[in-house]
Amino acid sequence: MATEVSLLALAEMFPDEQSARRWFEGQVWPKERCCGHCGGTRTKVVPNEKPMPYWCPDCRKYFSVRTGTALERSKVPLRKWAYAVYILATSVKSVPSTRLAGRIGVTQTTAWFMLHRLRQAWKPGQPMMRGTVEVDETYFGGKERNKRVKSKLGRGPVGKTAVVGAKNRHTKRVSARVVGTGTPPAPVLREFVESTAEPGSTVYSDGAWAYRTMTGYTHASVAHSRGEYVRGDVHTNGIEGFWSILKRAYMGTFHYLSPKHLQRYIDEFCGRQNMRELGTLDRMGAVAAGLVGRRLTYRELVA
């Protein structure tokens, strides 16, 4: 059974900066301390911790638990990072940067940058799906009545950002990817399925022509255009339910998701769905461990 952590318990876990540092070190280095520059394990403790707590004789560089992670070069105290991890990992519909800023005492810009760095931890890295897999597309973009005249390109997906996703019926795990603007071409949809579901799997989709041309899979579809949504075991209700969660967050938490950063938000919600059975500490630990090797600079974020 998943175990939750109260705010009081969190405060007791992280009473100071040293406790937060020890926790991050335990997640980033679960077996033994290793250099964030070269991966060497023959590390030494620096007595006065200047310029950093550890030194690697292999590459002759100083390092800390932040080195080689998404937290590298951040001046935000690790205690605030730990609270940010907790808030993001326990929020059902995520958290806007304005709210995080107020809860941990940083500026809105810093909170925005922190959240995107934490979303790096949820980048895809899961094994391929097998068994029965539901596949569907959805679209993100403003309502036509709110667009400028030159942006009103037509009905349906025209001018909107397309996202294709899959959900495993057995494990309930999801995976999703931004695939451009407008209706995705058939090769793009087929490539997503081939990189997500193992050959021999059963794939259920809507009536899109692209899925009918796949080889190596057992495929069945429902014709949404004709009002058919369920035919026995054939349906895409699972992945459509995930889209509903994502769209509610889009409207209720963020109000707007730029196409440029949309994939990170989607990665976050896929990760949250895939870790839903874990307790709070395990979710926090998974996020912290996922930061390794996923540095994101502010220049890269705003470029």
For residue range 83-129, list pLDDT tens digits in order.
Answer: 999 999 999 889 999 999 999 999 999 999 999 999 999 887 778 99
Length, in residues, of the chain: 303
Q: Which residue has the tokens 């058939």?
A: 186
Q: Note the pLDDT of residue 192.
A: 96
> Could you tell me the residue ranges of all domains in the chain?
1-27+71-122+279-303, 30-64, 132-259
Q: What is the mean pLDDT of residues 281-288?
A: 96
Q: Which residue intervals of 7-72 are DSSP H helices? A: 7-13, 17-28
pLDDT in tens, 121-160: 988 777 899 999 999 999 998 665 555 544 444 446 888 9
Q: What is the mean pLDDT of residues 281-289?
A: 96
Nearest CA to 181 out of 269, 261, 259 is that of 259
Q: For residues 230 and 232, what is the distance between their CA atoms, to the nearest angstrom?
A: 6
Q: Note the pLDDT of residue 154.
A: 44
- E strands, 169-216, in order: 174-181, 202-205
The H-or-E segment that residue 166 falls in is strand 161-168
pLDDT in tens, 198-252: 999 999 999 888 898 899 999 999 998 888 899 999 999 999 999 999 999 888 8
**How many Cβ atoms from other residues are within 10 Å of residue 222's Cβ?**
20
Q: What is the mean pLDDT of residues 12-25?
A: 98
Q: Note the pLDDT of residue 2.
A: 62
Report the top-level CATH class of 132-259. alpha beta
Q: For residues 250 and 94, what is the distance between their CA atoms, to the nearest angstrom?
A: 10
Environment class of 203 (CB within 10 Å of its CB; exposed 0-12, middle 13-18, buried 19+): buried
Q: Note the pLDDT of residue 153.
A: 44
pLDDT at 16 over 90: yes
pLDDT in tens, 36-62: 999 999 999 999 999 999 999 999 999
3-state secondary structure 222-238: CCHHHCCCCECCECCHH
The dihedral formed by the CA atoms of 230, 212, 265 and 90, expressed in degrees to the nearest 10: 40
Q: Note the pLDDT of residue 255.
A: 81
Tokens encoding 267: 């990665």
- Non-local (6+) Cβ contacts of 136 within 8 A are 164, 165, 205, 206, 236, 239, 240, 243
Q: Note the pLDDT of residue 142.
A: 60
Q: Note the pLDDT of residue 225.
A: 82
Tokens encoding 146: 């709110």
